[in-house]
Every structure is written in C-alpha cells, then in structure tokens.
C-alpha cells in the first residue's frame, strides 16, 4: 500500500521542476511549451477516457486511465499555480 498523498506530492514536485527547466525529451515539458489550451485539451481527453474505462468494467483499465487523468490534472494545476494541498483544503471543508 502506498501513501497517496506522498505520491501525488512527489508527482507535483517533478512536474513543477519540468515547467521550470523544460528539459528536452520530456513529455511534460512539451505540454508546458505548447501552453494552456493544449494542457486543458489533454485534461478533457483523459476525462473522456476515464469515463470509457469505467464503462468497460475493466478495473485495471479504469485505474490506468484515472492515473493518466490525475497526471494531466497535476500539469494543469502546476500551470495555474494551484497546489494539490489547496484542492485538499477545499475537500476537507466539505467533509461532514
Ligand atoms: N505520470 C506521468 C504520465 N502519465 C501519462 N503520461 C504521458 O501522457 C501521454 C498521454 O498519451 P496520449 O496518447 O494521450 O498522448 P500523446 O499522443 O502521446 O501526445 P499528445 O500529442 O496527445 O499530447 C503519454 O505520452 C504518457 O507517457 C505521463 N508522463 C509523465 N508522467 C510523470 O511525469 C514525470 C515527468 O515525466 P517526463 O514528462 O517524461 O519528463 C514522470 O516522472 C512521471 O512521474
């Protein structure tokens, strides 16, 4: 069992570093170079893929596509200067 918070924080850190350094050969850097419209388009595409994966009732496929969406959401968050901690705070506020 991994600690989801640790994994998502580490992913955020790596993605942020890619934005700052824009290394050659990095898919993440390529997304940042293409800009916001491309990043948000990928979030939309991956969301549709998540829906299709859940409809397929294939658990492994659903997990794979959910991870893809979370990665692309992380890129969108970094691009907008929003942290997963801020999203977590919003979720916490809703807890009853
Ligand atoms: N978690 C991911 C991750 N999930 C998915 N992907 C990439 O997302 C892409 C999605 O595939 P698609 O077929 O939808 O897109 P595509 O046709 O390749 O490209 P587009 O023209 O549609 O953008 C694939 O190239 C995957 O490799 C990811 N790429 C990177 N990461 C993380 O980001 C970090 C930095 O990686 P680099 O981008 O390689 O530096 C890595 O350490 C990982 O932790």
Cα(94) to ligand 1 centroid in Å equals 32
Q: Quick: pLDDT tens for 41-66.
A: 999 999 999 999 999 999 999 999 99
How far apart CA 52 and CA 33 sit, in angstroms, is: 29
ipTM: 0.94
pLDDT, tens digit (0-9, with 9 covering 90-100), for 20-41? 999 999 999 999 999 999 999 9
Nearest ligand 1 atom to the CA of 49 is 14
In 3D space, the residue among 73, 72, 79 whose CA is nearest the CA of residue 32 turns out to be: 79
What domains lie within the chain, and their CATH numbers?
A: 4-94 (1.10.287.1080)
pLDDT at 5 over 70: yes
| Residues having CB within 6 Å of any atom of ligand 1 | 11, 14-15, 18, 26-28, 42, 68, 71
Please, what is the average pLDDT of the chain?
97
pTM: 0.96
């Amino acid at each position: 069992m991994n600690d989801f918070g640790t994994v998502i924080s580490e992913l955020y850190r790596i993605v942020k570093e890619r934005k700052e350094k824009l290394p050659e050969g990095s898919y993440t850097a390529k997304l940042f170079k293409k800009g916001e419209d491309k990043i948000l388009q990928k979030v939309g595409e991956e969301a549709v893929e998540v829906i299709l994966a859940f409809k397929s009732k294939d658990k492994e496929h659903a997990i794979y596509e959910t991870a893809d969406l979370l990665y692309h959401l992380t890129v969108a968050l970094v691009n907008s200067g929003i942290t997963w901690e801020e999203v977590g705070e919003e979720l916490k506020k809703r807890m009853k």
